[in-house]
Structure 1
Amino acid sequence: MSLSDDTLKKILFQIQASAVQAQKDFQLSQQQISVKDRERKKLELTLKELGAMEGDVNMYKGVGKMFMRVPRKEMEGDLAKQEKELADDISNLNKKSKYLEKQFNEAQSQLRDIFHHAPKAES
């Protein structure tokens, strides 16, 4: 069974478009991972610094253009919660990246198979 040239071109175009889109999405997810990882590290360092402080120290949390005094336990709880959310986001983005990488590799493999099995044109 042979496919017409137009049908083959459409299939190739769809596979190529799929590969390009998967690659773009993969790069975007990698960028998001690095941004979220940086934020998580900042929170981790902040929590470490708060842990090193002794006694009842005044803590202030930025709210819009002002700062509100908050208890130390509440501040540490909020920071720990944010760190956990970022770690979960990073985990989900890593899963998404693996899926997109697999999708890109499959599209590349399909293109290689099509070109490998294509009949050779004679001059």
Structure 2
Amino acid sequence: MSNLSDDTLRKAVTSQKQLSIVKAQIASKEKERKILSLTVRELGSVPTDGQSTMYKGVGKMFIEQDRAEINKEHASQEKTLSEEISNLSKKAKYLEKQFDEANGQLKDIFHSQQRQAAAQ
């Protein structure tokens, strides 16, 4: 019986650790998406003046790029971030379910041992 409770306890702890890691990843991706959204909004407010050339920061230098290309790149990044957040959310729900199940099993084990001790 103790082997079962050890495995269940280990599963609960592992699930909790993984869940906290996934939640941190979700927060990080949400932050990236917010920064990207602000960048897109600011670039949208810049007048075109007949020019469609902009500069993109790469490391310590800037590269000249077409405005349409930058907009396309931002849209792609937004789509990728949304997909990653969706996948991480699904993983978080799974881990929460796994953690709840392990906690339920631990409670059942604890209550059954209490009943056995009371019966003696």
TM-score (norm 2): 0.89
* Matched residue SS, 2:117: coil
The residue that corresponds to 2:117 in the other structure is: 120
Runs of 4+ with >2 A deviation: 62-66
The residue that corresponds to 1:30 in the other structure is: 23
Shift of 1:106: 0.1
Q: Which amino acid aligns with 2:56?
A: K
1:102 and 2:115 equivalent?
no
The residue that corresponds to 1:3 in the other structure is: none
Shift of 1:58: 3.9
Q: How does 1:2-13 map to 2 (within 5 A)?
A: 8-13=1-6
1:89 equivalent among 75, 78, 84: 84
The 1-side partners of 2:58 and 2:9 are apart by 47
The 2-side partners of 1:60 and 1:44 are apart by 18
Which consecutive residues of structure 2, in runs of 5 or more, have no partner in the other structure? none
Q: Across the two proteins, how many residue pairs are aligned to each other?
A: 116
The 1-side partners of 2:47 and 2:67 are apart by 11
Aligned-pair identity (%): 47
The residue that corresponds to 2:40 in the other structure is: 47
Q: CA RMSD in A?
A: 1.6
